[in-house]
Amino acid sequence: MTDPSLRILIVDQNVMRASVLEAGLREAGLNDVIVVRDMQNLLRRIVDADPDVIFIDLENPNRDVLEQMFLVSRSVRRPVAMFVDSADAASIAAAVESGVGAYVVDGLRKERVKSVLDLCISRFNAFSKLQDELDRTKQALEDRKLVDRAKGIIMKQRHIDEAQAYELLRKSAMENNLRLGEVAQSVITAARLFGK
């Protein structure tokens, strides 16, 4: 079930098309709906509105308009549904790559708005979860590289083995409430400063 307190932003220059989306959202029990018709300073308008979900309705978008929409999608990190009258494979691929959760071609009907909203939110959540996992994995790999370098520095300076060097790093991280990678980076930075 869709949360009725969601704030939905509709970006559409066409009054009739925007009213179809708005009516579909209101029939689905969503009443916090904002319509933006002016595309000037669109990113600023979106940030100011602070929506939970963005619906972008474009009749026949040209490449520049699509690029602006994809930039918006990447920048605001919100579920985005895009409605277009026609599309080519490259536009669809670019939309998906930019994080658009639902790319609906020739399908603007009031009855479909709720299901598009649900799909958009679901895809956004799945994508965000994958992105978070990827970010954590990258951070862990980077931390591991830093820890290995820091252990080498400590082993050389203190004439101790790898296990003892690791234990010093771990203990310092715990005592200072830091990630192991942060402590390792400090050791590496200090070694550079002192030329060791």
Confidence of residue 166 (pLDDT cuts 50, 70, 90): very high
Report the distance separating Cα 147 and Cα 179, nearest Å: 10
Neighbour tally for 56: CB within 10 Å: 27
The architecture in CATH of the region 7-132 reads 3-Layer(aba) Sandwich (3.40)
Q: Where in the chain is the domain with CATH 3.40.50.2300?
A: 7-132
Of 182, 17, 185, the C-alpha closest to 108 is: 17
Contact 84, 58 (CB under 8 A): yes
Q: Which residue has the higher pLDDT, 39 or 125?
A: 125
| pLDDT for the residue 62 | 60
pLDDT in tens, 63-117: 666 677 667 767 778 888 888 777 777 777 777 777 777 878 776 778 888 888 8
**What is the dihedral sign for C-alpha 11, 131, 32, 82?**
positive
For residue range 36-59, what is the model confidence (pLDDT) as tens digits?
Answer: 887 777 778 888 888 999 888 876
CATH 1.10.10.10 maps onto the chain at 135-193
Class in CATH terms, 135-193: mainly alpha
Q: Are strands 53-58 and 32-36 parallel, antiparallel or unpaired?
A: unpaired
Residue 180, pLDDT > 90, answer yes
Sheet strand arrangement including 80-84 = 32-36, 7-11, 53-58, 80-84, 102-105
Query: 112: buried, middle or exposed (CB in 10 Å: 19+, 13-18, 0-12)?
Result: middle
